Amino acid sequence: RSTLFPYTTLFRSCVDTGMGLERVSSILLDKMSNYDIDVFAALFKAIQAVVPGLREYAGKVGEDMEDAAKWTEDERVDMAFRVVADHIRTLTFAITDGAQPSAEGRGYVLRRILRRAVRYGGEILKAPEGFFHQLVDAVVEQFGDAFPELRKDPERVKAILREEEATFSRTLKNGIRQLGKYCEKLPAGGTLSGEEAFKMYDTYGFPVDLTLQIGRASCR
């Protein structure tokens, strides 16, 4: 029984409570968050191992979940830990199952997931370029016994992620360069047009939220 979350037996045990394995595990392990269970602890250790000088995961969460700008640096770092760990697990399983990052359909969803993880890792955790695919082995080690298909060809998964990382790195560099040109043309206190922001995304593949972030900081 959990000391944090006392529970009673359901009157009808067939009722779907909406509790996945991780939520059940967090209760049985007396943890306040899914990310505090041992499954994620191993992934956090792997992230720390590939990022020189990165501190351990501390489980900090910003009080204002709607406004990350109000978070402390420690809260932002732990949030990035969670994003990277969750996304490497998702992508390792999805690619093993036959899906692949691409420009459309389900593949585009995977591409966006990967790029979000790489951005958070690079910008917040200060991870070196090409860090993300190195985490595949940790996922395989953690889940390979329960899901043996993960052990069949992890090198293929790593190769796909490595290429996606390299492509996104080029996209970021080109996008930042183009955005800088737009900013240079703005008058003091000017604002990027919607057309320019859309072109950054449509033509250069640059994420809209990153255009906003850099624009606020640089286009003044």
Question: Is the pLDDT reported for residue 1 higher than 60?
Answer: no
Averaged pLDDT of the chain:
87
**What are the structure tokens assigned to 63, written together?**
């009080």
Q: Is 93 helix (H, G, I), strand (E, B) or coil?
A: helix
pLDDT-based confidence at residue 127 (cuts at 50, 70, 90): very high
Q: What is the pLDDT of residue 67?
A: 60
The reported pLDDT for the residue numbered 143 is 94
Contact partners, residue 136, CB within 8 Å, separation at least 6: 88, 92, 154, 157, 158, 161
Entry pTM: 0.80
Check if the beta carbon of residue 166 is closer than 8 Å to that of residue 198.
no
pLDDT for 220 beyond 90: no
Confirm if 123 and 189 have CB atoms less than 8 A apart.
no
Residue 46 has pLDDT above 90, yes or no: yes
Q: In the chain, what percentage of residues exceed pLDDT 90?
A: 47
